[in-house]
Structure 1
Amino acid sequence: MTYGTGRDTPSSAALLEARGIGVRFGGVRALDEVSLVVRAGEICGLIGPNGAGKTTLFDVLSGIRRPERGRVLLDGVDITRRSPVWRARHGVRRTFQRQQLFGQLTVEDNLVVAQEWRRGAGRAVTAARRARAAEVLRACDLGPLAGTCAGVLPVGRARLAELARALADPPRLLLLDEPASGMSAEERERLAAVIRRLAAEEGCAVLLVEHHVSFVMDLCARVVVLDLGRVLAEGPAEAVRADPAVRAAYLGAGGMRSPS
């Protein structure tokens, strides 16, 4: 079911568009005619039960997996066959369910490494990269941990550090796969503030997969629900949350729960 857009979106033009995406694993249809749009400056939630196809869709959008059917467009240009590296160089960033930090590097160096795909060397370039790293770490409230080895960070801070690394080279589209997993309530508030600022001030489009229902509903103007590889519902967060079909498919007949 599709509802009206509700709250105004920052731009009517689609930055990211998936059209009729289909993926099959053997005899299992993981994604079936999945379509969605994310606009510049928009925070869109993607929710659904385990096995709904959320991470598979992220794999398609980030270029890790090529779909059997359908297309992925960035700024209206078909990028379905473009590599993850090409997409990253054109502003597509992603985090993963399992943390992917360079554990033996400091938090600051993780952010510096994320900028090294750009050409350039020398002291001035290195200084500029470290200045950008420091700026992002301050924005994520991680400044005091800049010199800490990333491998020893507690889970919540490691999640924030992974987000910071994704922001080190400014993104246009950010795909966040369960970024609040393992976070305390205070850390989730900090994460939400960073995401809101990123969308509002920098115009970044954000597509968020998350099992913390209240976090998604509070943060996202629009929510897409996947179930068994299909789009079950799409629209304003309040309308989606009240949908009986979403309640039944996502959280059972007992209704919506907010994981702690």
Structure 2
Amino acid sequence: MTGEVLRADGIGVRFGGVRALDGVGLGVRAGEVCGLIGPNGAGKTTFFDAVSGIRRPDEGRVLLDGRDITGRSPVWRARHGLRRTFQRQQLFGQLTVTDNLVVAQEWDGGGGGLAADLVSAPSRRSRERARRSRADQVLRQCGLYDLRSVYAGTLPVGQARMVEVARALADPPRVLLLDEPASGMSGAEREQLADVVRRLAGQEGCAVLLVEHNVAFVMELCARVVVLDLGTVLAQGSPAQVRADPAVRDAYLGTTA
């Protein structure tokens, strides 16, 4: 693995007098799948919001490939390869599965990668063909190709979650933040998701940060796990190290972990 693609240093976020995050530091390397776990209210989604630009932290900074992006917008970050999904489904229900992925490639330029190539294409028709070709490629990789013409709003929860992941991959990411992607998925769908994430990290070198309440899924998929509790990093290490940590057991996993 190469060096850290994403780095968050000393992230602090306050909501009035409540400190949701207090000096959180976390880095993710290219090709790494890192899990972020903790009890409800630990600050996991708030951390994602700070990293993705939805909320500017009160303290600390966010680095992408060593570049300080703390003041950059969510759109700028997405154009430069930092993508995320959300706890609450954000699909365009009136569009087909394919069109959800095509819309995700509708940049206005300036970001590099596939998006910039599409903008510079000689005609609208060729841009559309390129977008749809990329959408088909990602849908095949995610096991969704047979659903390409289905309206997204009609999908059951597990399939809709996978479409959200596919949409985040429509323009290849450098960093992917997955916020409870396995919620509502069947066992087979979770296995498909795990395969997609492993390929994304192992073959494409993407840095993946995964928030998920299914601890068994996290421990099986991630090489490293970070535990948040009350807005601070409680522990981090390999799955085995985190499972064995008494503080983690007391705060989150329980004595039968």
Shorter-chain TM band: over 0.9
Write out aligned runs for 1:79-158 (5 A): 79-117=69-107, 118=115, 119=119, 120=121, 121-158=123-160
* 1:37 matches 2:39: no
Whole-angstrom CA distance in 1 between matches of 2:8 and 2:26: 5
Is residue 248–residue 255 contact of structure 1 (8 Å, CA) maintained in 2? no
Match of 1:163 in 2: 165
* 1:76 matches 2:77: no
Whole-angstrom CA distance in 2 between matches of 1:33 and 1:180: 28
Whole-angstrom CA distance in 1 between matches of 2:58 and 2:90: 27
SS at the partner of 2:42? coil
List runs of 5+ in structure 1 lacking aligned partners: 1-9
Match of 1:243 among 237, 242, 245: 245
SS at the partner of 2:210? strand
SS at the partner of 1:223? strand
Is residue 45–residue 216 contact of structure 1 (8 Å, CA) maintained in 2? yes
* 1:25 matches 2:21: no
Residue by residue over 1:181-234, the C-alpha shift from the partner in whole angstroms, topping out at 9 and shown as x without a partner, is 000011000000000000001000000000000100000000000000000001
Match of 2:110 in 1: none
Is residue 96–residue 178 contact of structure 1 (8 Å, CA) maintained in 2? yes
User: Taking every aligned residue pair, what percent have the same amino acid on both sides?
Assistant: 73
* 1:255 matches 2:256: yes
Match of 1:188 in 2: 190
Question: Alpha-carbon deviation of 1:244?
Answer: 1.2
Question: Alpha-carbon deviation of 1:255?
Answer: 3.2
SS at the partner of 1:81? coil
Match of 1:216 in 2: 218
Measured on the aligned residues, the alpha-carbon RMSD in Å equals: 0.9
Whole-angstrom CA distance in 1 between matches of 2:256 and 2:5: 33
Residue by residue over 1:98-138, the C-alpha shift from the partner in whole angstroms, topping out at 9 and shown as x without a partner, is 01000000000000000111425521111111010000000
SS at the partner of 1:181? coil
List runs of 5+ in structure 2 lacking aligned partners: 108-114
Residue by residue over 1:32-77, the C-alpha shift from the partner in whole angstroms, topping out at 9 and shown as x without a partner, is 0100110011000000000000000000000000011101001111
Whole-angstrom CA distance in 2 between matches of 1:81 and 1:234: 28
SS at the partner of 1:137? helix
Greater than 6 Å deviation, 4+ residue runs? none
SS at the partner of 2:143? coil
Kindly tell me the number of residue pairs found equivalent between the two proteins.
245
Question: Alpha-carbon deviation of 1:152?
Answer: 0.4
Whole-angstrom CA distance in 1 between matches of 2:256 and 2:170: 39
SS at the partner of 1:73? strand
SS at the partner of 1:217? helix
Write out aligned runs for 1:170-185 (5 A): 170-185=172-187
SS at the partner of 1:82? coil
Match of 2:36 in 1: 46
SS at the partner of 1:51? coil
